[in-house]
Amino acid sequence: MKKVLKHYGKNLQLFVIMEEMSELIKAISKYERGIACDNKDITEELADVLLVMKYVKLIYNINSKDIKRIKKEKKKRLKERMKIT
């Protein structure tokens, strides 16, 4: 990951990240409008997004432990809103 950032540069990778997220949105939109007959494109674009999220963490120095903690808090809040224990 660090080698890729060093080779291509942070700014270019940030644009790649945005493009990949946009492609996922587009694939979901096409599927929901009936233009795509299966979820193959969604699966492929989701794989790309999950991969580039590692660059986001690296570029912005985001700790995996912090992400886990925040996800846990958000899940708890959602359960409380839905009154699930």
| pLDDT per residue as tens digits for the range 18-30 | 999 999 999 999 9
Number of domains into which the chain is organized: 1
What is the structure's pLDDT at 19?
97
Of residues 45 and 84, more confidence is placed in 45
What is the structure's pLDDT at 2?
84
Average pLDDT (33-49) is: 94
Full residue range of the structural domain in which residue 75 is found? 2-82
Rounded Cα–Cα distance for residues 9 and 14 (Å): 9
Task: Tell whether pTM > 0.85.
Answer: no
Q: Check pLDDT > 70 for residue 43.
A: yes
